[in-house]
């Protein structure tokens, strides 16, 4: 796609609508409430990074982690590395132990509510990120507790990433697909109308998608247009799912160790990638 003839805002809006076309959890009702061009603005923030970028992810399901979130985090990680940045995945166990051998990771732990702000402040000072990204990470509700899509309190198993966004001096991007994730505080009133315990933590740029992982492919499509190169050419969500499955991941909806995302076959993600490529190439 020629950069000279591209209407980036129009392209961004096409991608934004594409990411919520199935609307399993009401994100298509939230999407029009966001300022148009959020995919474009997020892609531009990522495109300018050459230093550390923190990627917070990992939603606890039973005694392990779900596939939605880590797939997108790894996709963003690989893309950031290719662009010359230094991505660092921030997560708690068991995801941290699953990823730390193959990826740069920073561990956050549970049950430290008295020190959450200090922990985040120390990490931010040490890591000096140029950007903080959050993809499918539980967000505090109004009582500073974490709830899953079933309305279950998962605070005892959930490390906190909220303060990494609250205290960051760099831009922040958050991605969610249900309303209980970090960043959804940007649309708190609207999210409160959904069948979910809403999160209140805010971000600079919120991205909504039918499956949070898919937002990573949307950002890659936008970056492809901005840079004039096909960053989705070698996208392989199945390979990432297979890797995570070998580490004990489960589908967040079915709670089974399958190569699926939120109950959807991996081919749904591939279909989206093909449609995104058709928009940009």
Q: 209 pLDDT exceeds 60?
A: yes
Report how far residue 56's alpha carbon sits from residue 201's, in angstroms, rounded to the nearest whole number.
14
- Is 105 within 8 Å of 77 (Cβ atoms)? no
- Is 243 within 8 Å of 58 (Cβ atoms)? no
> What pLDDT, on the 0 to 100 scale, is given for residue 110?
82
What is the rounded average pLDDT of the residues 95-106? 98
Listing DSSP states for 74-126 in one string gives: HHHHHHHHHTT-EEEEEE-TTHHHHHTTTS-EEE--SS-GGGHHHHHHHHHHH
Instruction: Give the domain range for residue 100.
Output: 3-280
Residue 170's CATH number: 3.90.1640.20
> What pLDDT, on the 0 to 100 scale, is given for residue 210?
98
Strand bridging mode 131-135 / 52-56:
parallel
Give the rounded percent of residues in the chain with a pLDDT score beyond 70. Answer: 98
Nearest to 20 by CA among 203, 234, 233, 176: 176
> What pLDDT, on the 0 to 100 scale, is given for residue 4?
43
Buried/exposed code over 110-149 (b: 16+ C-beta within 10 A; e: otherwise): beeeeebeebbbebbeebebbbbbbbbbbbbbeeeebbbb
> What global pTM score does this model have?
0.96
pLDDT digits (tens, 9 = 90+) for 154-167: 998 899 999 999 99
At 226, list the tokens: 């901005």
Q: 5 pLDDT exceeds 70?
A: no
Residue with the larger pLDDT of the pair 35 and 109: 35
pLDDT digits (tens, 9 = 90+) for 221-278: 999 999 999 999 999 999 999 999 999 999 999 999 999 999 999 999 999 999 999 9
With cut-offs at 50, 70 and 90, classify the pLDDT of residue 111. low
Tokens 């050459």 found at: 50
- Angle among Cα 146, 147, 148 to the nearest 5 degrees reads 130
With cut-offs at 50, 70 and 90, classify the pLDDT of residue 114. confident
- Is 181 within 8 Å of 199 (Cβ atoms)? yes
Report how far residue 251's alpha carbon sits from residue 261's, in angstroms, rounded to the nearest whole number.
6
Bridge partners, 64 (sequence order): 61
How many domains are there within the chain? 1
> What pLDDT, on the 0 to 100 scale, is given for residue 2?
42
Nearest to 108 by CA among 153, 66, 160: 160
């Amino acid at each position: 796609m020629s950069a000279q003839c591209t209407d980036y805002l129009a392209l961004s809006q096409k991608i934004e609508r594409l990411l919520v076309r199935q609307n399993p959890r009401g994100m298509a009702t939230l999407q029009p409430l966001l300022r148009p061009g959020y995919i474009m603005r997020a892609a531009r923030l990522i495109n300018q990074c050459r230093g550390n970028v923190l990627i917070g992810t990992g939603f606890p399901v039973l005694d392990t982690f779900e596939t939605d979130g880590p797939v997108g985090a790894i996709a963003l990680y690989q893309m950031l590395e290719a662009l010359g940045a230094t991505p660092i995945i921030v997560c708690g166990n068991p995801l941290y132990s699953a990823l730390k051998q193959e990826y740069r990771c920073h561990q956050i732990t549970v049950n430290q509510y008295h020190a959450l702000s200090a922990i985040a402040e120390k990490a931010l000072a040490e890591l000096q990120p140029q950007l903080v990204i959050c993809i499918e990470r539980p967000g505090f509700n109004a009582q500073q507790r974490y709830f899953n899509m079933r309305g279950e309190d998962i605070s005892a198993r959930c490390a906190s990433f909220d303060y990494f966004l609250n205290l960051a001096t760099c831009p922040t991007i958050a991605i969610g697909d249900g309303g209980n994730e970090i960043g959804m505080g940007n649309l708190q009133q609207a999210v409160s109308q959904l069948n979910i315990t809403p999160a209140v933590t805010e971000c600079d740029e919120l991205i909504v998608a039918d499956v949070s992982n898919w937002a990573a492919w949307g950002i890659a499509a936008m970056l492809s247009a901005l840079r004039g190169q096909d960053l989705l050419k070698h996208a392989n969500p199945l390979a990432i799912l297979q890797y995570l499955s070998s580490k004990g991941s489960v589908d967040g909806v079915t709670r089974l160790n399958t190569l699926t995302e939120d109950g959807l076959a991996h081919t749904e993600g591939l279909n989206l990638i093909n449609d995104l490529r058709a928009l940009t190439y």
